[in-house]
Chains A and B, each alone.
Chain A
Amino acid sequence: MGSRTRREFLQIAGVGGVVFASGLLEACSRLGGRPDPRPGMADDFYFVQLSDTHWGYKGPANPEATVELPRAVELVNALPQVPDFVVFTGDLTHTTDDDQERRRRMGQVREHLARLRVPTLRLMAGEHDASLDRGAAFQEFFGPLRYSFDHKGVHFVVLDNVSDPKGILGDAQIDWLSRDLKPRPKDAPIVVFTHRPLFDLKPDWDWTTADGTRAIDVLHAWRHVTVFYGHIHQEHHHQTDHIAHHAARSLMFPLPAPGSQPNRAPLPWDPAHPGKGLGLRDVDTDPRQPAYELREIPLARES
């Protein structure tokens, strides 16, 4: 099934309130016509990106903090087509100094995610999950902090820029990234999942990765690279040369647009529209182009 057909199918199926955005490559394919499918590539597929649940958060930015994750699970399970996988781009839990409480929160998240009716779940840490214990609890509950995998012709790389509390990737991981990518053809579709932005989005709000440009420099040699990340609790799209970077909404509280207010305090809760500014995303992936079509699915509801 082609991506456009799937989108039409979703619209016909009545998935309401959706917003379509397109990556640069998709835009290019629209402008110049869709090129012939690349030989040897698999058919298209889609995955869902969840991010920044901050399970365990208690505060005014979301007085219904236990509602959003179960609701997101329901929304994914209600999608008219089952995604090939769900990726969770970090901050599954809100941080705590108490190691036992951290593990309790991770156990609860794991129970909720177990209700997802999807073939595969790909998890990664945020600084709230991993920075205070360098990822020890996260690895116990959810597995490695960095890894890569292949799916239907796309090479996916999960980078860890959070388990070091300085929010860096580090020399060893950048070497690992170089070695991981080296065997791949330069026209291979590469997708990177990371928590913090790899580029300097807003360094004075800590919306950056101190050595992220080193990773971007490595990735730059591949022609089809797309990065999906979290951390900033809002939809955001950015290009570093030919590399597209897409931030996802949070499942707990939205943060302000970069520089739109004096600090990065969460946007106030809107009791008339609980869940406003929150959401998840599905990503239609056509490895033959390659092209990525992003569909934002809001969590907002009427009170």
Chain B
Amino acid sequence: MRFAALFLALLAAAGDPGERVVHVVARRFTYSPEVIELQLGVPVIIELTSADRDHGFSVPDLGIRIDVEPGKTARVRVVPEKVGTFDFHCDVFCGSGHEEMAGRIMVSAPVASGGNSGH
């Protein structure tokens, strides 16, 4: 796993029941949502389903890839360990428009709480 140091990704991991779940629907030739916003160090479960046919969910820079098949729910648990933008795409050829089926994961630093910016 090339970027294990950046992300901890556990396929089909149950995780903590209180963890945030992001639902992503794949259909030709889009993901909904196309942008997944995460916070540094905060675990999240990404749940993927397909609305039509076989797709893939590949984030090469994070070493994540998973099949997204109709009638099944694919899950990947991620713990962002680096701020940045990471592109994902469908890597299971799904027809004319397959090349445009992509999105991005954006990882931001946590917002400081209890600040006194009013001064």
> What residues of chain A have their CB less than 8 Å away from a CB belonging to chain B?
94-97, 127-128, 131-132, 162, 165-167, 200, 203-206, 210, 263-265
Contacts and interface: CB of A to CB of B under 8 A. Distances in A.
A134 to B, nearest CB: 11
Contacts of A132: 93, 95
Interface in B67-119: 87-89, 91-96, 98-100, 102
Contacts of B61: 204
Contacts of B99: 206, 264
A210 B102 contact: no
11 contacts: A94-B96, A95-B93, A96-B96, A127-B93, A132-B93, A132-B95, A204-B58, A204-B88, A210-B91, A264-B99, A265-B100
A258 to B, nearest CB: 13
Size category of the B interface is: 10 to 19
B43 interface: no
B89 to A, nearest CB: 6
A96 B96 CA distance: 7
A95 B100 CA distance: 14
Nearest to A165: B93
Interface of B: 54, 56, 58-61, 87-89, 91-96, 98-100, 102
A206 B96 contact: no
How would you classify the secondary structure of chain B's contact residues: helix, strand, loop or mixed? Answer: mixed
B60 A203 contact: yes
B66 to A, nearest CB: 12
A33 B54 CA distance: 54
Contacts of B100: 263, 265
- 6 A-B pairs closest in CB distance: A131-B93, A203-B60, A165-B93, A127-B93, A204-B87, A204-B60
A132 B94 CA distance: 7
Contacts of A263: 100, 102
A275 B39 CA distance: 46
Nearest to A58: B96
A263 B56 CA distance: 18
Nearest to B97: A95
A205 B93 contact: no
Given A165-B93, A263-B102, 12 more contacts: A95-B98, A132-B95, A166-B92, A166-B93, A167-B92, A200-B60, A203-B58, A204-B61, A204-B89, A205-B89, A206-B89, A265-B100
A97 B95 contact: yes
Contacts of B88: 204
A95 B93 CA distance: 10
A166 to B, nearest CB: 5
B20 to A, nearest CB: 25
Contacts of B58: 203-204, 206
